[in-house]
């Protein structure tokens, strides 16, 4: 890994005070674990941190991780507006306000006389955050409405970009992008080692969780000696391996099993293209008492437990109405080349998007047909 990047990041961390961490609105467990690990580490070196991920809902399988419920899903209070009134010549008697027609009206009552226009000034404060870390995200646009609603902020505040995907657009002031790394937590662990700070049990557990989820508990065909060595080091440092395994792989709730059973009963597979897919209706969620937070477990089961499947597609009807889709691919296939007709929130190998089609049947037909067409183009490239 690039030691120069490490030193640049250390410098930014030293200069920063209020640090924002974020990821795309469809974060992998590895990205979530990495964000929690970085936040925990930065607090240990005296920094204030906030994790904000657009539309974030904590996955039930990661509920054992400390501070996961502290992750926010909206970005608030970036700036304050200051109204300054010169009181040297005219003192104030009263201040009132009202909100009418989506406008704030402030009423200042002088003790005597009145204020001139030049006695009243307005200005905005500096941004609350002075540094942003964006994890496992291909571009600024990929962080969703956080970027759309705060474009100026993301272009004015220094950004550290941490990723392991080939399609990353290198949008940060410092880009720590290692496409050979199997896990974001692997990259972060190497960075932590440059500090003279002990990696404690909590930090080791965050990092090992990310590594285990990104490799499917070392069942991935891409496993290499380096990541096995790192996992061993983390266990020696106190990472709670048994607790991680129990929560990720041995602790399926009744709700998740019921939802998985319904998805499994409709499972389809196209051997020629390597696509496996299934659908879930609104009634499936209501009957099982589950919601969209259980979907990552279902899609992971589809891709990891069907070795012959290169692409897994889960089409589901939202409880509140509308049809959405999650597409997950194996490491060697970039899902951005498979899906071109829909706005999405994604990382390189997982897309989540909503469809124009009004029901799961029409959605299934449209999305599988598009993937098959685009897959043929990729093969012939």
More confident residue, 345 or 196: 196
So what's the pLDDT on residue 377? Answer: 76
- Specify whether the CB–CB gap between 135 and 124 falls below 8 A: no
- Specify whether the CB–CB gap between 136 and 23 falls below 8 A: yes
What does the alpha-carbon distance between residue 32 and residue 68 come to, in Å, rounded to a whole number?
8
So what's the pLDDT on residue 375? Answer: 85
What residue ranges do the domains of the chain occupy? 3-75+128-248, 81-124, 254-380
CATH 3.10.310.30 fits 254-380, yes or no: yes
Residues 340-373: tens digit of each pLDDT: 776 655 555 677 788 876 788 888 998 899 889 8
Terminal alpha carbon distance of the chain = 30
So what's the pLDDT on residue 327? Answer: 87
Which candidate, 236, 228, 226, 230, places its Cα nearest to that of 201? Answer: 236
So what's the pLDDT on residue 74? Answer: 92
The class of domain 3-75+128-248 in CATH terms is alpha beta
Residues 303-338: tens digit of each pLDDT: 666 667 788 899 999 888 889 888 888 756 677 777
Count of positions (residues) in the chain: 381
* pLDDT level of residue 112 (50, 70, 90 thresholds): confident
What 3 state SS string does 138-202 have? CCHHHHCHHHHCCHHHHHHCCEEEEECCCCCCCCCCEEEECCCCCCHHHHHHHHHCCCCCCCCHH
């Amino acid at each position: 890994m690039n030691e120069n990047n490490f030193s640049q990041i250390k410098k930014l961390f030293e200069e920063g005070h209020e640090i924002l961490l974020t990821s795309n609105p469809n974060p992998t467990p590895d990205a979530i674990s990495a964000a929690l690990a970085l936040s925990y580490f930065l607090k240990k070196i005296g920094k204030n941190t906030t994790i904000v991920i657009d539309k974030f809902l904590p996955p039930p399988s990661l509920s054992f991780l400390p501070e996961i419920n502290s992750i926010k899903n909206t970005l608030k209070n970036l700036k304050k507006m200051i109204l300054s009134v010169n009181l040297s010549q005219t003192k104030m008697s009263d201040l009132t306000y009202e909100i009418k027609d989506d406008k704030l009206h402030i009423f200042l009552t002088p003790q005597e006389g009145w204020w001139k226009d030049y006695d009243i000034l307005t200005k905005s404060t500096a941004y609350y955050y002075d540094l942003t870390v964006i994890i496992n995200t291909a571009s600024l646009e990929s962080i969703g409405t956080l970027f759309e609603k705060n474009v100026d902020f993301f272009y004015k505040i220094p950004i550290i970009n941490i990723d392991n995907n080939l399609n990353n657009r290198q949008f940060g002031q410092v880009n720590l992008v290692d496409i050979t790394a199997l896990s974001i937590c692997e990259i972060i662990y190497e960075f932590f080692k440059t500090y003279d700070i002990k990696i404690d049990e909590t930090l080791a557990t965050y990092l090992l969780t990310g590594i285990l989820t990104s490799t499917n508990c070392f069942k991935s065909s891409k496993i290499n000696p380096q990541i096995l060595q790192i996992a061993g080091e983390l266990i020696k440092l106190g990472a709670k391996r048994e607790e991680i395994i129990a929560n990720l792989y041995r602790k399926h709730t009744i709700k998740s099993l019921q939802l998985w059973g319904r998805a499994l009963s409709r499972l389809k597979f196209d051997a020629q293209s390597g696509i496996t897919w299934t659908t879930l209706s609104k009634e499936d969620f209501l009957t099982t008492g589950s919601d969209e937070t259980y979907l990552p477990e279902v899609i992971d089961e589809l891709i990891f437990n069907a070795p012959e499947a290169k692409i897994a597609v889960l089409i589901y009807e939202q409880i509140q109405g509308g049809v959405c889709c999650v597409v997950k691919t194996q490491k060697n296939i970039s899902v951005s080349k498979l899906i071109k007709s829909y706005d999405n929130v994604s990382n390189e190998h997982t897309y989540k998007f909503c469809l124009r089609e009004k029901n799961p049947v029409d959605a299934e037909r449209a999305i599988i047909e598009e993937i098959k067409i685009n897959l043929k183009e990729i093969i012939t490239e």
